[in-house]
A and B are shown apart, each in its own frame.
Chain A
Amino acid sequence: MSRSYSIGGLTCGGGNRSGAAFRAVAAERVFPAEWSARRPLRLLTIGIVLVALGVPSALRAAKDLPELFAERVKSCVTVEFLIETELDRQPVTVLGTCVDSNGTIILPASAIGARVSVRQLKDFKVYRPDHATAYAAEYLGQDVLTGWHFVRAEAAVRAELVPLTAWVRRNTPDPCMADEVWSIGLRGKDEDFHPYFLMSRVGLIQPLPQMTAVAASEIGGPGLPVFNRAGALVGLTLNSFGQNFLLFSRRDRGLPVVLVNSDESSVFLFARDVLPYLGRIPRDVSGRPLPWLGTFGLEPVDPEVARFLHIENQSALVVSEVLENSPAEKAGLKGHDIIVSFDGKPLPRLRPEQVVETYLEREVDRHFPGDVLALTVLRDNRRLDLKVTLGEEPKIIREASRRYFERIGLTVREFLYGDGIARRVKIADQKGVIVDFVKPNSPAAVGELAGDDWIREIDGREVRTYADAVDALAAIEADPNRAEFVLLTSRGNETAVRRVKLK
């Protein structure tokens, strides 16, 4: 059952480190692709026509919406930046929402991939809707709990931005099914980020585990505030979920495809799962501290298994592996243990089942290293109460030291704790370096090196540390007479000798 829900590459906002992916079941409709692409323009046209003809009295009830829209657009920005890689610069454009009077802006978790190092991020710029002026901005880091990236706009533009907290209205109820909700879309740079209006009704509400609503159609650009009919803040749009379509063409008779609207979204997080976290601006750009439990593979149990284990009306997570030297290991957790409660609360039954894994990750992420939490597990039909002291997560991939060797066409990075997990290598044996990048058609590529190869020896000499590898490769790179060198590398379960010819 569980497998049918995951679609590679589509992540549901929130937890940046969770691989959980969900499909919006209620939002499956079929439109001609052409229609949705043209829609903003058409809306614009309708607007102009209405103005020209004079609005019929039946529609006059909507007269406040343009005013509400004009004010609330001031919370929305477009953020541009570059991700600098060995060979090129990738421009990235995302939407963001201003959260305070200091020009702080939050961007969705998906704006920056988990492998991208902070050092690769360059040239942050902020644009206001309908304005072509670029304002400089600073990257502040990613928050572990919400996944949001925080950016701060330069002082010159701050007075023009209105934080979304300005639209909080006391006693605003949570959105309900069939409620009208609206947000804002922003056109591209060539149209000066011109804002447009999108509105729909709530179709589905589900805890994933944060309260999430899916509207019947797109309501705004991803990462922007959502309002009710009265203009009160009710949420923040997430990346849109994938929708199932069948593709008919000359060659394909009903090929199943998943389409994701990357410009607009019909999914939003409730304001009550947004507002409490706006202050989580990282202390420094690393985003640390990162609380750490140290388990690998938490698999939810289905209702049948829950019944079998006599834990009805709740969920549970099977621990696949307990990581070496982790807080979980120190707490006495073992592989095959079934976690039934965490921090004194039974794991809730959520749908789809794998959402409970995100739930547990978030429970960990709302704490700090050093916090002591209660954990109850089932082991061999017995209930065991454990106490775990959360640790600080070992260095993650975006923090790793890396070095690019232009002539060889190779970037190596230090061997991380996570590399040891992926390769099942004990800490004591974690030597060598990892191939981070191979330049196409370079000597390294011709020598059949590939990303994630584990380099263990260079020219017959064991690589103990990252510094060892950098020294050895730098010496090779600097020697114009060097014709070739030999690496011992591991890939998957296989170790191989690879020869890199430099001339």
Chain B
Amino acid sequence: MSAGFDRLLEAVVRIDVRDVTFEPGARRFVAGVGSGVILSNDGLVLTNAHVASPYAVEISITLPSLESVGAKLVGWDHWTDLALIRIDLDEVRRRGLTFQPATFGDSGALFPGETVFAVGTPYGLTRTVTRGIISNNRRYFEDSEGVRGYETGTFNTWLQTDAAINPGNSGGPLVTEDGEVVGINSRGFVGADNLGFAIPSSIARRVVDELLAHGSVTRSYIGIVPRTLQNLEHFYALALNTGMLINSVDPGSPAAAAGLRSGDILLAIDGQKVDGRFPEQLPPIQNMIASLPVGSTVKLSVKRGAQAMEVPVVTEKLESRMGEEWAFDKWGLSVRKVSRTYARENQLDDDTGVIVIGVQPGFPAAVAGLASGDVITRVDQQPLKALDDLKRIYQAFDAKPSSLLLSTTRDRRVSLYVLKP
């Protein structure tokens, strides 16, 4: 095709991952296959967060030469579904392996109808190239549990392509005819034909820098849920293309503390005007807020009825609704920490407790009567603040088993269970 495309093929890898999973009430392992693209000569590989995550216990990369080599996670960002891993360079040197990095292009210059190629490992079929066009270069897609139950898509729009993207393509590059990487293929619509989504390279570059420097992307949170103004301008007496509707305000969030309410119109952020008429315009506005330093004061210009206000809001660190997961093997119980976000979503009083995500039949937790979805709030009448508290209780139980009284909440109903050795 082109010299650039040939070079690109030399930079696409297959990624085999073994993940730990806690769902069945025990620590188990599952294997998965994805794709990735080599970024640099020092062995950095970009892939999806749903391919390589902190759940990975073993990552193996198959180079274009078909030689396999180990790799380690550098960092992940489920919000943009991106992860960075590094090839074991010692092993590469020891075995005399070679690879070369891909060249990145400008995703902002793409136009609908432009020919693009997806390269990856669909269903384990290494080095598969599929061809299509850019179907839409600014697709809005948000999923509150899209990446292993973690949120995704709030802060970015997506490239949509009809190049065939199948399971296993995840993490592979979407490239131009010149072999320049313009996106990272991430997801397709289940049951649809060739409706694939990729993260634009412009987003990926920023995330890669953060992951390389800090291992994660720190974002700010103020707790507003936006909605398009589409056709509501008249009701709010606004000029077209002005402002964004605050559809809801998370209870207990900085925005709520600052007095913001549902139905307020956000006109500007620190003096910079916002326009949230259409869905595609929301992620960039969300990203403006997310990009503010944590703990800083942001000045929101807000319209409420006929009244215009300047509202200072102090940002908090953005957290996922997913808390840390753990399995207590001898109890046959796996749990996830209640996060602030989970507590808020489920109208819990606070983030005390752990959510049962799995029980193994016949083990003490199941015998006691615990079931997935129960929130364990107290052990022996003492509130369970942190997951580490339960880990300590488990160790004590392991050393000297004795019955424990657990209090759980489910649909606001409090139940008691006795966990017996």
Interface residues of A (CB under 8 A from B): 1-3, 296-297, 299, 301-302, 304-305, 307-309, 318-321, 335-336, 338, 380-381, 424, 457, 459-460, 484, 486, 488, 493-497, 499
A242 CB → nearest B CB, Å: 22
A122 CB → nearest B CB, Å: 36
Known: A299-B415, A336-B407, A494-B225. A488 touches B262 (CB 8 A): yes
Interface residues of B (CB under 8 A from A): 225, 227, 231-232, 235, 245, 247-249, 251, 262-263, 305, 344-347, 368-369, 371, 378, 381, 403, 405, 407, 409, 412-418, 420
Is the CB–CB distance between A493 and B381 below 8 Å? no
Q: Which residues of chain B are within 8 angstroms of A338 by Cβ–Cβ distance?
A: 416
Closest to A335 in B: B414
Q: Which residues of chain B are within 8 angstroms of A499 by Cβ–Cβ distance?
A: 231-232, 235
Complex CA–CA separation, A456 to B291 (angstroms): 33
Complex CA–CA separation, A143 to B249 (angstroms): 44
Known: A2-B369, A484-B235. A497 touches B416 (CB 8 A): no
22 cross-chain CB contacts under 8 A: A1-B369, A297-B413, A297-B414, A299-B414, A305-B416, A305-B417, A308-B405, A318-B414, A318-B415, A320-B413, A424-B347, A460-B305, A486-B235, A493-B251, A493-B344, A493-B347, A494-B247, A494-B248, A495-B247, A495-B249, A496-B248, A499-B231
Known: A424-B347, A457-B263, A497-B262. A308 touches B235 (CB 8 A): no
Is the CB–CB distance between A3 and B371 below 8 Å? yes
Q: Which residues of chain A are within 8 angstroms of B378 by Cβ–Cβ distance?
A: 336
Q: Which residues of chain A are within 8 angstroms of B417 by Cβ–Cβ distance?
A: 302, 304-305
Is the CB–CB distance between B414 and A308 below 8 Å? no
Q: Which of A3, A380, A494, A496 interacts with B381 by CB under 8 Å?
A: A380
Closest to B235 in A: A486
A464 CB → nearest B CB, Å: 16
Closest 7 pairs (CB-CB, A-B): A297-B413, A495-B262, A320-B414, A304-B418, A495-B248, A305-B416, A299-B415
Is the CB–CB distance between B418 and A308 below 8 Å? yes
B70 CB → nearest A CB, Å: 44
Known: A3-B371, A297-B413, A486-B235. A305 touches B418 (CB 8 A): yes
Complex CA–CA separation, A3 to B415 (angstroms): 12
Is the CB–CB distance between B414 and A497 below 8 Å? no
Closest to A336 in B: B414
A378 CB → nearest B CB, Å: 10
Q: Which residues of chain B are within 8 angstroms of A301 by Cβ–Cβ distance?
A: 416
Is the CB–CB distance between B409 and A320 below 8 Å? yes
B278 CB → nearest A CB, Å: 16
- List 7 other contacts, CB 8 Å, given A459-B235, A493-B345: A299-B414, A299-B416, A302-B417, A309-B405, A457-B263, A460-B263, A486-B232
Q: Which residues of chain A are within 8 angstroms of B225 by Cβ–Cβ distance?
A: 494
Is the CB–CB distance between B413 and A381 below 8 Å? no
Complex CA–CA separation, A415 to B345 (angstroms): 23
B409 CB → nearest A CB, Å: 7
Q: Which of B227, B231, B369, B412 interacts with A296 by CB under 8 Å?
A: B412
Complex CA–CA separation, A338 to B414 (angstroms): 10
Q: Which residues of chain A are within 8 angstroms of B263 by Cβ–Cβ distance?
A: 457, 460, 488, 497
Closest to A305 in B: B416
Closest to B306 in A: A460
Q: Which residues of chain A are within 8 angstroms of B418 by Cβ–Cβ distance?
A: 302, 304-305, 307-308
Closest to B237 in A: A460
A479 CB → nearest B CB, Å: 15
Q: Which residues of chain A are within 8 angstroms of B369 by Cβ–Cβ distance?
A: 1-2, 302
Complex CA–CA separation, A460 to B306 (angstroms): 10
Q: Which residues of chain B are within 8 angstroms of A459 by Cβ–Cβ distance?
A: 235
Closest to A501 in B: B231
Is the CB–CB distance between A321 and B412 below 8 Å? yes
Q: Which residues of chain B are within 8 angstroms of A319 by Cβ–Cβ distance?
A: 414
A443 CB → nearest B CB, Å: 15
Q: Which residues of chain B are within 8 angstroms of A321 by Cβ–Cβ distance?
A: 412, 414
Closest to B367 in A: A304
Q: Which residues of chain A are within 8 angstroms of B249 by Cβ–Cβ distance?
A: 495
Q: Which residues of chain B are within 8 angstroms of A495 by Cβ–Cβ distance?
A: 247-249, 262
B257 CB → nearest A CB, Å: 16
B86 CB → nearest A CB, Å: 41
Is the CB–CB distance between B415 and A497 below 8 Å? no
Closest to A457 in B: B263
Is the CB–CB distance between A381 and B381 below 8 Å? yes
A387 CB → nearest B CB, Å: 23
Complex CA–CA separation, A380 to B371 (angstroms): 25
Q: Which residues of chain A are within 8 angstroms of B414 by Cβ–Cβ distance?
A: 297, 299, 318-321, 335-336
Closest to A297 in B: B413
A207 CB → nearest B CB, Å: 23
Is the CB–CB distance between B412 and A496 below 8 Å? no
Complex CA–CA separation, A338 to B418 (angstroms): 15
Complex CA–CA separation, A113 to B275 (angstroms): 49
Complex CA–CA separation, A297 to B417 (angstroms): 16
Complex CA–CA separation, A1 to B368 (angstroms): 9
Complex CA–CA separation, A304 to B364 (angstroms): 12
Closest to A3 in B: B371
Complex CA–CA separation, A297 to B251 (angstroms): 24
Closest to B245 in A: A497
Is the CB–CB distance between B407 and A496 below 8 Å? no
Q: Which residues of chain B are within 8 angstroms of A3 by Cβ–Cβ distance?
A: 371
Complex CA–CA separation, A364 to B178 (angstroms): 79
Closest to A338 in B: B416
Is the CB–CB distance between B412 and A320 below 8 Å? yes
B326 CB → nearest A CB, Å: 24
Known: A3-B371, A308-B418, A495-B248. A297 touches B412 (CB 8 A): yes
Q: Which residues of chain A are within 8 angstroms of B416 by Cβ–Cβ distance?
A: 299, 301-302, 305, 318, 338
Q: Which residues of chain B are within 8 angstroms of A297 by Cβ–Cβ distance?
A: 412-414
Q: Which residues of chain A are within 8 angstroms of B344 by Cβ–Cβ distance?
A: 493
Q: Which residues of chain B are within 8 angstroms of A484 by Cβ–Cβ distance?
A: 235
Complex CA–CA separation, A497 to B229 (angstroms): 10
Q: Which residues of chain B are within 8 angstroms of A497 by Cβ–Cβ distance?
A: 227, 232, 245, 247, 262-263
Complex CA–CA separation, A495 to B248 (angstroms): 5
Complex CA–CA separation, A355 to B41 (angstroms): 70
Complex CA–CA separation, A320 to B407 (angstroms): 10
B153 CB → nearest A CB, Å: 18
Closest to B378 in A: A336
Q: Which residues of chain B are within 8 angstroms of A320 by Cβ–Cβ distance?
A: 409, 412-414
